[in-house]
Structure 1
Amino acid sequence: MVAALAVVAGCAAAPAGDAPETIVFLNPHAGAYDDVVAEFEARNPDIRVEQQSVPFDQMVSQTQARLASGDTSVDVVSVDPPRLAGMVTQGFLTDESASADLLESTSSQVGINSVTVDDRPWAYPLWTSDAFLFYNRDALTRAGVPIPGPSDADRLTWDQVLDGARTVAEADTARYGFGIDQVDRYYALQPILESMGAGPGLEGPDSLTAAVDTPEWKRFGAWYRDLYTDGLAPRGVDPGQMADLFASGGLGFYLSGASSITKIAESDLAGNWGIAPAPYVAGGPVVTPTDSWGVGISAYSEKQDAARRFAQFMTLDPEGVSAASRTMNLPPVATAAMPAYLDHLAEVAPAETAGIGDLLEIDLERHARHRPTSVGYVQFETTLNRAFTDLRNGGDVDSVLATAQDTLVRQLDRQRELAGDH
């Protein structure tokens, strides 16, 4: 692995008198990659990386519009794993099978799986993810709610968490008892759905058969709607505001990922919060989320060699991965970078993150569940996120899910036709 990484991290000097070759990196995380770009350019003076960052909710449409038109100005692009199959089908990305051995020697299997379609890697995995139950220690203590334990053996059920959240709300020690970071987003809700006994919502060998109006999905729909209609969770707060709400003391419990840690640690809540494992539904399996952004090389790029050097440095070289992970706090896929990542968390919040490494390992090995790999994932997620919003606003469960099912049947049938054309 050391020899392989020496190739990835190798420096190259710009020929005398020649300007560096500029590659463009399209991503949805403004500022997150500044350190890794600076380090890469220092090691590779023959390449300059221009970042083009777009808002998270515009990344899919921007990628689709630019690559579908054959835009040669984009060289490297952030890739969300469940959308990979659709990008591959449309011919947007390069086949990275030549780097399969390098990936195997440097990256976790769960990360490799996230960028694999038809048994071939089409991108380089950068981060994985997990969910944790953050809690406001003071709000729980003043309400008489027991402090959750930090290990897998201490994992609470959702009934236990929501009972505690109701106690916090009734005692008025926080404005709301509970909140979810990625409100109305499938990524955050899929683990709860599957722990409750529901399927992922896409079935069949091609994951193009919708199944979101089953009894189990309806059970989840009622559960989710009631969180908001009962006032236990905040109805009018969007995902970008949830971490601030928790950090300001507004929530008793908060379901989120490692990306929230720095903001909380540097807030007025510092020293008065903790991390516990993500809950599960009593009688059901423990299910946790996984996968995060990877990096792909545009099939239309005219600078693929330079793009590949940058992509591999950012995702496979421990120094590059660490530089990319510090801002977002997301767990790296490159196994050699994990110790530095955990050291970084220990510097940010030593007491609160003391057991997070063990919890990450257990969740990734035992409980992690990928989102469906489907050429229709964009349509699937868009439709469901709209349905989750309708439920949060008090919509009728049967009607909301029936509408989502009908919409998905039409959309996925069309995607099946398009996939056949390719």
Structure 2
Amino acid sequence: MRARLLRRAAAAAAGLAVVAGCAAAPAGDGPETIVFLNPHAGAYDAVIAEFEARNPDVRVEQQSVPFDQMVSQTQARLASGDTSVDVVSVDPPRLAGMVAQGFLTDESASEDLLESTSSQVGINSVTVDGRPWAYPLWTSDAFLFYNRDALTRAGVPLPGPSDADRLTWDQVLDGARKVSEAGTARYGFGIEQVDRYYALQPILESMGAGPGLEGPDELTPAVDTEQWRQFAHWYRDLYADGLAPRGVDPGQMPELFASGQVGFFLTGASGIGRAAGSDLAGNWGIAPAPYAAGGPVVTPTDSWGVGISAYSEKQEAARRFARFVTLDPQGVIAASQEMTLPPVATAAMPAYLDYLDEVAPDETAGVGELLETDLERYARHRPTSVGYVQFETTMNRAFGDLRNGADVDAVLAGAQATLTRQLDRQRELAGDR
């Protein structure tokens, strides 16, 4: 697998000349300042330092906001035509809505560059109506982390690292119950992005439920179905039975696993660095994300990209920076190492895997092969819909209600009714544009 990645990286290098070139020194007025709005404080410091060293005519000012405020901040500032934002982090499922509102520049002129440097799954994540509107930076996957000591002392076999070893959800939860009953960890199971659609969509679809949005425009809600109700009962029972922790938010979940309080933990690649640097170091492992028995394997994909504001008055400099962050291997590697997230730029993947080998050599030995398998065979995009923000907000609230023990039928019927009203309005707005 590593040899195949190296061949791809060599092929991609030919397309990077346009990205890696240095700009001339600034004129007498000093460098031009561009503003980069993102939800990843500290992740881009090294990237920006390198970009500014290569491009002395540009200075990058970061404005980092908390993850849960990024959507509202972007909406408020770009909807008002704010010219002070030049570059903005873009979450792929929200891209269609941003494009419909005219927030981003059409990057079709970079199609050949993207094709020569980036994975197809990454390009797809920033494409709306056949055109790219941003530059993909990271992709994602889900993994099943496990506490070696907790499983071993409870008599639960350690799962294997490859696709062939992938467990069903029944197998995972049977093992989690043994851990819980044996008291070798406080909780048998946990999900990092608890109550978030990103983490739960693959489970839903593996269990036979649809993504929740249907129709050619993906503005028809379908969350009050028998399959969704089956999932909802399954999800609520995780917390009703005490198998998973109720009342713990996503930001606290990694620490709960790292402190040895969780047996099995569904998380993403960003969890690798946190676990490797914790007290659990040397006592944890990585297995493939589970699937529902009799159903398909479904894994998440897509992660943050970088877009250029249509209201920016400095689009040439903004584009240079966006390309450096997402397509130049040195820029991509710096960001990927900070966040431990897999890059979309194919030339950067070998260095990313080398970095994982340094951080956690035993635990990540099979991650490269697993990433490639999941991305090529099982990855499922979230819906590309102008109503995605409304959909995700409504469903995340519904998942939270289920975790707190609310009635399944009432929660899903309420979500269906709310989404029908909201998305009908989105359809009307789309028709007016």
**What TM-score do you get using the length of structure 2 for normalisation?**
0.97
Alignment partner, residue 4 of structure 2 = none
Kindly report which structure 2 residues correspond to 1:289-304, keeping only aligned pairs within 5 A, or say none: 289-304=300-315
Taking only aligned residues, the RMSD between alpha carbons, in angstroms, comes to: 0.7
Kindly report which structure 2 residues correspond to 1:51-200, keeping only aligned pairs within 5 A, or say none: 51-200=62-211
Per-residue deviation, 1:3 = 4.6
What do residues 57-97 of structure 1 show as CA deviations (whole Å, max 9, x unaligned)?
A: 00000000000000000000000000000000000000000
SS at match of 1:296: strand
SS at match of 1:205: coil
Aligned length: 422
Within the candidate set 272, 294, 306, 2:283 is matched to 272
Per-residue deviation, 1:236 = 1.1
Per-residue deviation, 1:419 = 0.7
Alignment partner, residue 38 of structure 2 = 27
What do residues 8-64 of structure 1 show as CA deviations (whole Å, max 9, x unaligned)?
A: 111112234231000000000100111111110111111000000000000000000
Kindly report which structure 2 residues correspond to 1:215-234, keeping only aligned pairs within 5 A, or say none: 215-234=226-245
Q: Distance in 2 between matches of 1:14 and 1:277?
A: 49
Q: Which runs of no fewer than 5 residues in structure 2 stay unpaired?
A: 1-11
Q: Distance in 1 between matches of 2:26 and 2:206?
A: 57
Q: Which runs of no fewer than 5 residues in structure 1 stay unpaired?
A: none
What do residues 98-140 of structure 1 show as CA deviations (whole Å, max 9, x unaligned)?
A: 0000000000000000000000000000000000000000000
SS at match of 2:109: helix
Q: Distance in 2 between matches of 1:118 and 1:263?
A: 38
What do residues 327-359 of structure 1 show as CA deviations (whole Å, max 9, x unaligned)?
A: 111100001100000001000000000010000
Alignment partner, residue 334 of structure 1 = 345
Per-residue deviation, 1:324 = 1.2
Q: Is the 8 A contact 2:13 2:347 kept in 1?
A: no
Per-residue deviation, 1:6 = 1.7
SS at match of 1:23: strand
1:14 aligns to 2:21 (yes or no): no
What do residues 256-285 of structure 1 show as CA deviations (whole Å, max 9, x unaligned)?
A: 001011111111101000000000000000
Q: Distance in 2 between matches of 1:96 and 1:262?
A: 33
Kindly report which structure 2 residues correspond to 1:304-319, keeping only aligned pairs within 5 A, or say none: 304-319=315-330
Within the candidate set 355, 369, 378, 1:358 is matched to 369
Q: Distance in 2 between matches of 1:4 and 1:176?
A: 48
* Equivalent AA in structure 1 for residue 96 of structure 2: A
1:345 aligns to 2:350 (yes or no): no
Q: Is the 8 A contact 2:51 2:321 kept in 1?
A: yes
Paired-residue identity, %: 86
SS at match of 2:63: strand
1:403 aligns to 2:414 (yes or no): yes
1:372 aligns to 2:376 (yes or no): no
1:206 aligns to 2:217 (yes or no): yes
* Equivalent AA in structure 2 for residue 4 of structure 1: G
1:421 aligns to 2:432 (yes or no): yes
Within the candidate set 254, 258, 262, 1:243 is matched to 254
**What TM-score do you get using the length of structure 1 for normalisation?**
0.99
* Equivalent AA in structure 1 for residue 268 of structure 2: G
Q: Is the 8 A contact 2:27 2:57 kept in 1?
A: no
Within the candidate set 331, 334, 353, 1:323 is matched to 334
Task: Between 374-383 and 34-43, report the one with greater CA deviation.
Answer: 34-43
SS at match of 2:247: coil
Q: Is the 8 A contact 2:13 2:117 kept in 1?
A: no
* Equivalent AA in structure 2 for residue 134 of structure 1: F
